[in-house]
Amino acid sequence: MEDKCCCNGNLTEAKEVVAEIGGTKDRIIPLLQEIQRRRGYLAEDLVNAVAEVTGIKPAEFFSVGTFYSQFRFTPLGKNIVKMCKGTACFVAGADPLIEAAESYLGIKSGQTTPDGLFTLEIVSCLGCCSLAPVVMINGKVYGKMTRTRLTQLLEEYRK
């Protein structure tokens, strides 16, 4: 039988995480980053189990987790679409692009489509200002984006 904590978290996995990262308070952010790396989001059961292993209260983990924008509490979609809204992209017309993506996918930014295919995010700068406006899909940057090309691209990723 698997080693479970009081709230059904997987203690074996939690021990692995803590062994790898460390279990002191100054390691809370790296611990959360590791949980997110493993599960794609901050799965409550694993956060609780890690809290139990480290002896740090779960509230401290959630307090830190909710503060930083990197952390998410819901699973990601299959394709991650990051719309850059840095200043250069904004000046080059990021807003109409974001609207086009939202209307094509039928979701608002920060959400995942019901079929789990796409997660749409707005990011503040991808640092590719020379290619503005920029969209990043699954880690690949597409520059000089137009609304027509964006919908074509999303169509391709849907397949």
Burial of 39 (0-12, 13-18, 19+ CB in 10 A): middle
Q: Which of residues 13-32 bind other proteins (CB under 8 A)?
A: 24-30, 32
Which residues does residue 140 pair with via DSSP β-bridges, in sequence order? 137
Binding marks (x or -) toward other proteins, 44..83, rule CB under 8 A? -------------------xx--xxxxx------------
Q: Which amino acid is at 3?
A: D
Return the structure tokens found at 72: 């998410």
Q: Is 126 a binder of other proteins (CB under 8 A)? A: yes
Task: Count CB atoms within 10 A of the CB of residue 14.
Answer: 25
Using CB under 8 A, which of the segments 9-17, 39-47, 90-98, 107-115 binds other proteins? 90-98
Q: Which of 35, 46, 83, 134 binds other proteins (CB under 8 A)?
A: 134
Buried b (16+ CB within 10 A) or exposed e, 78-95: ebbbbbbbbebbeebebe
Q: Which of 125, 153, 157, 158 binds other proteins (CB under 8 A)?
A: 125
Nearer to other proteins, 8 or 146 (CB): 146
Contact 85, 46 (CB under 8 A): no
Nearer to other proteins, 33 or 113 (CB): 33
Contact residues for other proteins (CB under 8 A)? Answer: 24-30, 32-33, 63-64, 67-71, 85-88, 90-92, 96, 99-100, 103, 123-132, 134, 141, 143, 146-148
